[in-house]
Amino acid sequence: TALVAIHKAGIVHRDFKPGNVLLGPDGPRVIDFGIARVDDGTATMTNSIVGTPSYMAPEQIEGRGITDKCDIFAWGCVIAFSSTGRAPFGSDTVPAVVHRVVSAPPDLDGVDEALRPIVESCLDKDPNRRPNAQTLLMRLLGHDGPVGASNDADDALQQGERVAQTGLLNGNPLPPVHPQAPQYPQTGGQPGM
């Protein structure tokens, strides 16, 4: 839901990761827009990595252009982390992580089977094959068709906000965060800085 709103405003977060999602009493909140940029399709990186390698898209690492699809890739990484307690491309050395992001499949062992195909589509190496945020939200809400008119997207956004606030999807509770994933109350998932 947050990514739909962010992308609808024409912004790319560029550093979507577990530490930038706070779990509050009124639902999750995305924070830290320090490196966010307007999505004009021209942003590239010239001489340094900007972001967190374990949650960066291949095109972001390679400096091929930063679009909203980078946030979708990062979302897939965050969901895999919250499901398993580990980043899908590892979190050891930067060169090793970067190599796996660019050329290896993600480790999705332990991701719920119902959620796995959605996460896999978000972690596609080709950004053109990843869903956009609205399509992703519709899939999460059980709608497989393409997003139609803006009213459909607005309805999906409102439905997503209700799910985030209540923790219920179609009257059923959402699955819990992986029990082995470390929980730090002050930041909602990552140790404080």
As a whole number of angstroms, the distance between CA 87 and CA 79 comes to 9
Active site residue 71: no
Q: Exactly one of 15, 39, 68, 124 is catalytic; name it.
A: 15
- Angle at which helix 150-166 crosses helix 133-140, to 10 degrees, equals 50
Nearest of 172, 177, 173 to residue 190 by alpha carbon: 177
18 near 184, Cβ under 8 Å?
no
User: Quick one: residue 122, left, alpha or beta (phi over 0 = left, psi -120 to 50 = alpha)?
Assistant: alpha
Nearest of 69, 20, 21, 19 to residue 43 by alpha carbon: 69
Q: Which residues contact 162 (CB under 8 A, 6 or more apart)?
A: none
User: Catalytic residue numbers?
Assistant: 15
